[in-house]
Structure formats: C-alpha cells, structure tokens
Amino acid sequence: MNDIHPKILQNLYYSVKLIRRVEEEIIRIYPSDKIKSPVHLSLGQESISSGVCGALNHEDVVFGSYRGHAMYIAKGGNLRSMFAELYGKIDGCARGKGGSMHLVDVESGIMSTSAVVGTSIANAIGYAYASKITKNNKVVVSFFGDGATEEGVFHESLNFAALKKLPIIFVCENNGYAIHTHQKIRQANPNICLKVSPHGIPTIKIDNADVINIYKNVEKIVDEIKNLKQGPFFIECMTSRWKEHVGPNEDFDLGFRNKNEVLKWKEDDSVIKLGNKLKPDVKKILDSKIESIIQDAISFAEKSSYSLPEELNKHIFYE
C-alpha cells in the first residue's frame, strides 16, 4: 500500500471509514424505529465501492443493488438526503418514498439502486448504450451480488455489452450468499469469471477485497475505456457481509454459516489497514470530519418533515 499517492490513500480511507461509520450509526438507530425501511447493510463490503468509485470521475455513473449504501456514499451521494430517505422524510433523495433500497443522486452520478435482483444490470446497459451513441465519454458501472448472476438478464446483458463494445464495468460483489444459501449449493460451477469469459469480456477476480488493488485495477480500466474506447470489463470481488441479509443483527444462530467465515475478513479489515498507513494527525482530522458530517446528516433527517398524503400521487410518471 506504500506505492500510492498520499492524497489518494487519504481519499480511500475517508471513503471506507465514512461508510463504516454510517452503517454503525444505522445499526444504532434502527431499534428506535426512526428508520422506516428495511436496511441491507454494506458493513464488511466497503472496500469494493470505495475502490471502484475512487477511480471514477464525477461525471461517470453507477447503478446498484438493494445493498447500495456503500456505493451511494463512495460515489459522493448527499448524506443528508440518504438519512432523510431512510427516515421516510420529504427531504430524502427519493422524497421519502424509496427507502434504503432505492437511493438516487443524479448530480453525483448515482442513477439508482434497485430492490429487484439483477435489474441494475439491464438499466446500466441502457445507459452505457446511450453513452456510446452520444459519445459523452462516460464510464458506467453496474454493481450487483453473486445471486444476480443467476438471473437471465445477466447473460443477456453481457452479450449485448460485448456485441456493442459498451463503456461499462460489471462489478460482482461476491459475498458467497444469496440470502441464506451459499453459492456452492446454488451453482454447479461457482467460477463466475469463467462464465463471463465466453462472451469475450476481459475478467479480473480479486480474492481479498483489497481496496488499493481494486482502485488500481479500475483506474486502469477507466483509462482504457475513456482513451482507448475499449469495453466492457468484468470484475469479481470476493467479500463478506458481516451482518444478516437484511437488518442490523447477526445471523450465525440460523445455522447456514459460522462466525469463522466472517472473522477471517474482519482480521483483514481495510478500514484498519488504511488507517494505519496514515499519519496520526491526518487520520484524526479525517475521523473528526467523518463524525461531524454524519451527525449533521442525522440531525437533518430528524428535523425534516414527513411527506403529505398528496405526495403519493406525485413523480409517478414523467411529465
């Protein structure tokens, strides 16, 4: 991790630590019932979004799954709007009507997250096709879990992206589970990269979710897309979710996985590893800034108003 510019290191640390602290605050608040939607936490998966989005430009766009907090934050989404959305308030990014699974911040290039498995893949393909036609030189990233690779839209989209040579990066966040079922039980051949390669798409598999490694690989890919007009690309990042599938609790008592699976990932925590690379005074400043922005966002959400009943009939169709 020493061969990276100090400013980039600081940015990556700020990103992973901000995500971590936001998720911890959501866990703290959730039992109070102030948060009005289910939450699929990114705790443990922060490095992927931080590494990928850290290598993107502001104008590049991302599409994500229902486990999209990390992506939203890493791409620069408005934290006030995110917390207000979790609280079901009018100042939320979806005006309090979308909740945790439907985050959006178009100004920051966050086009959508979706509760339906695999839909972000097809949506991202449409945007990438439009980007190629209009020659706007934007890179499109689609984040999804290993479960989404079992949907028919996955291979349909891979084929179309390869056929049209679209400027898109597919990022599979493989935490090994589709809700409670391990990948090895669901898939006869769990090698996802091997399933992608026949489409003629270059693949990269990153086994340890190292944020620096992810950043460097995506930085190179972004350069190839923007300057050499190459694409698409596929990255599979192995990772682990530290909490239950949905909610703030642990799920080890259910019997489908054990604590040791998660423990090995916690021992290789990028938040701690990156923090140890920073000068103590720099880390202290960043940590203080993170706490300040989080408390500001929570305060904003709690003071925001709930939507009026007539809001239900607004923004349903484009007018």
Helices (H) and strands (E) in the chain, counts: 12, 8
What is the average pLDDT value for the chain, to the nearest integer?
Answer: 96
- Two structure tokens written together for 174: 């493989």
**pLDDT, tens digit, 9 for 90 and up, residues 143-189:** 999 999 999 999 999 999 999 999 999 999 999 999 999 999 999 99
Distant-in-sequence, close-in-space partners of 223: CB < 8 Å, separation ≥ 6: none
Distant-in-sequence, close-in-space partners of 186: CB < 8 Å, separation ≥ 6: 147, 150, 178
- Report the b/e string of 175-202 with b at 16+ CB within 10 A: bbbbeeeebeeebeebebeebbeebebe
Enclosing H/E stretch for 292: helix 280-303
Statement: residue 309 has pLDDT above 80:
yes
Distant-in-sequence, close-in-space partners of 69: CB < 8 Å, separation ≥ 6: 19, 22, 23, 26, 39, 40, 41, 42, 82, 100, 103
Q: What is the distance between the terminal CA atoms of the chain, rounded to a whole angstrom?
A: 50
Q: What is the pLDDT of residue 1?
A: 42
* 100 within some domain: yes
Ranges of beta strands (E only) in 95-253 are: 110-113, 140-145, 168-174, 177-178, 181-182, 203-206, 233-238
- Two structure tokens written together for 196: 């992608």
* 318 within some domain: no
Residue 281's domain spans which residues? 6-240+251-305
* DSSP per-residue string spanning 85-120: HHTTBTTSTTTTSS-TT---BGGGTEEEE-SSTTHH
Query: Predicted confidence band at 319 (pLDDT cuts at 50, 70, 90)?
Result: low
Q: The whole model's pTM is what?
A: 0.96
Cα 98 to chain centroid distance, Å, stands at 17
* 317 within some domain: no
**pLDDT, tens digit, 9 for 90 and up, residues 222-258:** 999 999 999 999 999 999 999 999 999 999 999 999 9
Q: What is the pLDDT of residue 72?
A: 98
* 29 within some domain: yes
**pLDDT, tens digit, 9 for 90 and up, residues 24-80:** 999 999 999 999 999 999 999 999 999 999 999 999 999 999 999 999 999 999 999
* 17 within some domain: yes
* 225 within some domain: yes
Q: Count the domains in the chain.
A: 1
CATH of the domain at 10: 3.40.50.970
* 289 within some domain: yes
Distant-in-sequence, close-in-space partners of 291: CB < 8 Å, separation ≥ 6: 21
* 312 within some domain: no
